Amino acid sequence: MKVSVNWLRELVDVKLSVDELSRVLTMGGLEVEEVTPVAASFDKIVVAHVKSVAPHPNADKLRVTEVDAGTGTTLQIVCGAPNVAAGQKVPCALIGAKLPLEDGKVLEIKAAKLRGTESNGMLCSARELGLSQDHAGLLVLPDDAPVGQDIRTYLDLDDVYLTLKLTPNRGDALSMLGIARDVAALTGSALRPPKAEPAPVAIDAKRSIRITDGKACGAYNGRVIKGIDAKAATPGWMVRRLERAGLRSISPLVDITNYVMLERGQPMHAFDDAKLKGGIDVRFMRAGERVKLLNDQEVDYRPSLLAITDDSGPVALGGVMGGHATMVGDATTDVFFESAFFDPEAVQGKAKALQLTSDAAYRYERGVDFAGSRSALERATALTLEICGGKAGPVTEALGELPKRSAVRVRPDRVRLLLGYAVADDEMVRILERLSCKVQKEGAAMQVTPPSWRFDLAIEEDFVEEIARVRGYDHVPATPPRASVPMLRTREGARDRFALRHIAADLGYQEVINYSFVPAEWEREFAGNEKPVRLANPIASTMDVMRTSLVGGLVASLAANLNRGEERARLFEIGRCFDRDEASVEAQPERLAALAYGLREPEQWGWGANAGRVDFFDAKGDLEALAGSVALEFEPGTHPACHPGRCAVVKAGGRVIGFVGELHPRLQQKHDLPFAPVLFEVLAGALLEAPATRFGGVSRMPVVRRDLAVTVPENVAVGTLLGAVRGSLPAFVTEVEVFDQYRGKGVEPGRKSLAFRILMQDTDRTLTDTEVEVVVASIRDQLVQQFKAQPRT
């Protein structure tokens, strides 16, 4: 949004300098991105009248002119512009004038001789004044330009325009009147809104209006003006204001509608009344209908497009763009003006869907003043009668469903609580009334009704923001925060995610962070999930579902590292996954996954002794290191991402928390991995709830060790044996572990030999042989009875 400061000063009586005004606007939420003078600094350039033009005696492309510049004497000036002609009004730089050049230098005008002919000044183009890049000829001024007047005054060149960066919720600030209202509220200056007196009705001509879809169109005002001169020249002041706002002057009728839009924020449209057939109906498009827009784009039927129609069908798209068939032109003598309110929801996204840009849609999408459409029509009528002549008919109005402005309860105590500093009740009332809100006291609270142009004020917090904004953010006291921070109780033994990250890093793993959006193919391959949570608007076609496993991202990260020459990788990730049951807390479990690939140890001198690649047991050992004191159980199992015979289910506390295994050969081949990595994935929360650490004294008594060897059926898991044995031992038994496993000669087929290490130690006394043998015997008996073990000798 570009704002002319001089135009703004006409609408609000503000005495601030441009820099001060820019600061007020920025601090008030309307950020000023750029301050740009309309023209560079120059002087002694006036309006001049070219009295005569004659050929130069010594140059074919030069002309000798006689110019009246209001100095009392006629000036002879040599000019090379091809469009110079007698009778023109043009800018003239007098002797002593200084013109800025593009390279930063200054050109001073002096009396000179050009090809032997005296020249006492210079006639100027728009480029030489810094107004545009047009250097094809002189800047020809209107015939009524006063001779001798300073060109800066005549063209209003001492103006500055501000480029504002507006937030999407401030649709009311997309007009000069909207900016003026905010400046008046921020500074307390008097607002001088442009007048819109009802135009005299001179004819009975009118066109009937009906609103079929009242929810989409809240109000539609129309007026016929007959006998206009569509070829009349748009006044220079209007052309300049349009150009400084970034719009191009097209024709007087179009310029008037654009000017009213800039001035009041109300988009308008001008139809050639002679091209309309019958009454106007505002409704959604019907099947088979189409309309050609002003930009020559043809739009076929879409049920969500609101159309302005006559008896022949759609002639415009409501709130978006007018139609080509009814556009005004030089031959137009009768015009039908439209000034309407379209509901933002009916317009939002329509211009984008049609791949076009529209100033009208940009404003309607954000909300325009639904109470100002009638006054905007009167303003456009007055300008048309002034510029193009003609006679106006009565205003025809139809109403649909207009937005309701409900009062919002605002509590001063709540305002002060949210702001964090004191604001008097009376000051709140004054601020809200300066914003054109209606305020009514109701006990300790206020009932505040926002004005018709503020669609962003709907809840109590909105008005709290307005009070803070208008009162000034620079008035917020710099009070250091004060708060008590009690020490939280933490269960002993509990760990956090940073502890897991540190342990993983100590084990040689590097953390990766992958997108939660993954291809649906990954979910099928790595998680066996045929119905993942799909995204309504994915950021890429290959990231269309939410992940339920971290494995796919780790494998992709491994492949990327291998493609860049890495031969050994240790990767882990802690992140949320998203199961199908979206209503459950468990639908977003946090998981920890890790992947190991390559040699067990980095290559080094003498590395042959450690040349083995990582296998299932390396991953299992790393997982147990991460678990710490959390007891894990491993059982043979399957997982879609793992090799069928090299995978185990991981349990903690009797419930399944994940898996560990080797990547499936099919996935290894698909992702071009020379060797299969080993990996695991578990619920992160299961590793955080570790039992509290127990401390004991260091015993001076000797440790007693006994070894026990038994054979058991092949299908009996070692973890099951250890779990059963450890649960029924006296306190002085400090360790029971399996240290050897054997299959082969001396062991029956279908059985395996396990060797247990049993350590016993008491803190106060030396254990007797009898006590030791009783423990060993009880373990042997339990294994025999419960697991069909057979002692080995």
pLDDT digits (tens, 9 = 90+) for 217-245: 999 999 999 999 999 999 989 999 998 89
- Phi, psi values for residue 645, rounded to 5°: -100, 5
Percentage of the chain beyond pLDDT 90 is: 72
Q: How far is CA 13 from CA 3, 5, 176, 368, 441, in A?
A: 16, 11, 14, 24, 30
Q: What is the pLDDT of residue 494?
A: 78
DSSP symbol at 311: T
Tell me the mean pLDDT in the region 763-773. Answer: 91
**CB–CB of 664/643 below 8 Å?**
yes
**CB–CB of 409/442 below 8 Å?**
yes
| 128, pLDDT greater than 90 | no
Q: How far apart are CA 578 and CA 590, in angstroms?
A: 9
**CB–CB of 81/123 below 8 Å?**
yes
The three-state secondary structure class of 95 is coil
Domains of the chain: which residue ranges?
A: 2-38+160-187, 45-154, 209-399, 408-474, 497-688, 704-791
Q: How far apart are CA 452 and CA 338, in angstroms?
A: 20
| 587, pLDDT greater than 80 | no
CB-count exposure of residue 563 (10 Å: 0-12, 13-18, 19+) = exposed
Residues comprising the binding site? 456, 462, 465-466
For the 209-399 domain, the top CATH level (class) is alpha beta
For the 497-688 domain, the top CATH level (class) is alpha beta
Intrachain domains 2-38+160-187 and 408-474 with the same fold? yes
**Architecture in CATH of 408-474:** 2-Layer Sandwich (3.30)
Residues comprising the binding site for Mg(2+)? 456, 462, 465-466
CATH 3.30.70.380 for domain 704-791: yes
Q: What is the pLDDT of residue 378?
A: 96
Q: pLDDT tens digit string along 494-546?
A: 788 999 999 999 999 999 999 999 999 999 999 999 989 999 889 898 899 99
Residue 389, CB-side half-sphere exposure with 13 Å CA sphere: 9
Which segments within 471-564 are labelled E, that is strand?
510-511, 517-518, 545-546
> Model's pTM, two decimal places?
0.67
Q: pLDDT tens digit string along 44-61?
A: 999 999 999 999 888 888
CATH of 2-38+160-187, one of 3.20.20.70, 3.40.30.10, 3.30.56.10, 3.30.2010.30: 3.30.56.10
DSSP symbol at 655: E
Q: How far apart are CA 487 and CA 656, in angstroms?
A: 34
- The β-bridge relationship of strands 160-165 and 31-37 is antiparallel
CATH 2.40.50.140 for domain 45-154: yes
